[in-house]
């Protein structure tokens, strides 16, 4: 068991459903703590952390999506005693997809998968991987994603922490592609994205439909890559609306 990789802000011993939330590149569970209070009282929400941040800050980040999915599988394995689902934002979305593949192979797939602001469709980041660009261009890329101000990234102490973590996470993201031999997932998938996200357009996100055959919902909300900023309750309500029919 990897200590500190799972955070349970509101334990629900007799929960009807358990949702695991996976964070974005450069992020941690801290960015999703405010989500928990919006979910139904009989859901238990578990926030996951990749190595290299939060309580595992001393550990080396994982640079391969498959390896991180394996690690997250170890973390959640003791928690799969009831209906459960996965929601991942950006980097978290592709890790959630890889984790769902592993869970399916082990005969215990989630009842629902939520993929936010990342797509299996090839994009410009494959032609020029962001983890290899100069520090200045990396700052520009982070600012374009939203969620972090340029002023904050000019702080030397913050940048000394952010830069190596972002490079590791972006290496994971920009070198990932789904296994072309893998059959479509038989898991209901809900896709979420921002209408003004230039990197992950609604059209690119629609490409997820080719990777599942268990039901597909596509939610486009106003905003950029971090479209949920200021509208967490709306996003959570859409998640709940998609999951509830699957719980019988």
Instruction: Name which of 7, 89, 5 is nearest 49 in CA terms.
Output: 5
Token pair for residue 51? 């190595």
Token pair for residue 39? 């979910």
Indicate whether 61 belongs to any domain.
yes
Which region among 16-20, 27-31, 44-48, 127-131 has the lowest average model confidence (pLDDT)?
127-131
Q: Kindly state the average pLDDT of the residues 161-187.
A: 90
Alpha carbons 89 and 93: distance in angstroms, whole number: 5
In this structure, what DSSP letter does residue 217 have? E
Q: Quick one: how far is CA 196 from the chain centroid?
A: 19
Token pair for residue 15? 């929960």
Structural domains counted in the chain: 1
Alpha carbons 197 and 193: distance in angstroms, whole number: 7
- Cβ atoms of residues 23 and 54 within 8 Å: no
Check residue 162 and give its pLDDT: 83
Tell me: pLDDT of 45 over 90: yes
- Cβ atoms of residues 91 and 61 within 8 Å: no
222 by Cβ neighbours in 10 Å (0-12 / 13-18 / 19+) ranks as exposed
Tell me: pLDDT of 226 over 90: yes
Indicate whether 106 belongs to any domain.
yes
**Which domain, by its residues, includes 54?**
6-120+183-247
Indicate whether 152 belongs to any domain.
no
Indicate whether 155 belongs to any domain.
no
Alpha carbons 43 and 139: distance in angstroms, whole number: 38
Indicate whether 128 belongs to any domain.
no
Tell me: pLDDT of 26 over 60: yes
Indicate whether 110 belongs to any domain.
yes
Check residue 192 and give its pLDDT: 98
Check residue 125 and give its pLDDT: 64
List beta partners, residue 192: 116, 219
Check residue 1 and give its pLDDT: 46
Indicate whether 14 belongs to any domain.
yes
CB atoms within 10 A of CB 12: 16
- CATH code assigned at 65: 3.40.50.1820
Q: Are strands 189-194 and 17-22 parallel, antiparallel or unpaired?
A: unpaired
Which region among 8-22, 156-170, 217-231 has the lowest average model confidence (pLDDT)?
156-170
In this structure, what DSSP letter does residue 185 have? B
- Cβ atoms of residues 151 and 143 within 8 Å: no
Indicate whether 64 belongs to any domain.
yes
What are phi and psi for residue 64, nearest 5 degrees? -130, 130
CB atoms within 10 A of CB 229: 13
Category of 86 on φ-ψ map: left (φ > 0), alpha (ψ -120 to 50) or beta: beta
């Amino acid at each position: 068991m990897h200590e500190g990789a799972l955070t349970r802000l509101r334990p629900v011993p007799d929960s009807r459903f358990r949702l695991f939330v996976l964070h974005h590149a450069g992020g941690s569970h801290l960015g999703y703590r405010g989500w928990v209070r919006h979910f139904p009282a009989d859901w238990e929400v578990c926030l996951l952390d990749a190595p290299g941040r939060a309580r595992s800050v001393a550990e080396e980040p994982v640079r391969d999506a498959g390896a991180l999915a394996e690690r997250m599988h170890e973390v959640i394995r003791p928690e799969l005693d009831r209906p459960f689902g996965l929601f991942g934002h950006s980097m978290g979305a592709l890790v959630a997809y890889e984790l769902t593949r592993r869970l399916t192979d082990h005969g215990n797939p989630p009842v629902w998968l939520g993929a936010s602001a990342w797509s299996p469709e090839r994009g410009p980041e494959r032609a020029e991987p962001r983890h290899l660009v100069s520090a200045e261009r990396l700052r520009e890329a982070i600012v374009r994603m939203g969620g972090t101000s340029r002023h904050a990234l000019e702080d030397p102490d913050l940048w000394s922490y952010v830069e190596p973590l972002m490079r590791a996470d972006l290496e994971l993201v920009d070198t990932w592609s789904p296994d072309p031999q893998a059959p479509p997932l038989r898991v209901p998938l809900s896709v979420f994205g921002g209408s003004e996200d230039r990197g992950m357009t609604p059209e690119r996100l629609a490409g997820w439909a080719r990777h599942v055959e268990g039901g597909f919902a596509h939610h486009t909300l106003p905003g950029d890559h971090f479209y949920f900023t200021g509208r967490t309750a709306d996003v959570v309500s859409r998640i709940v609306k998609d999951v509830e029919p699957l719980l019988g």
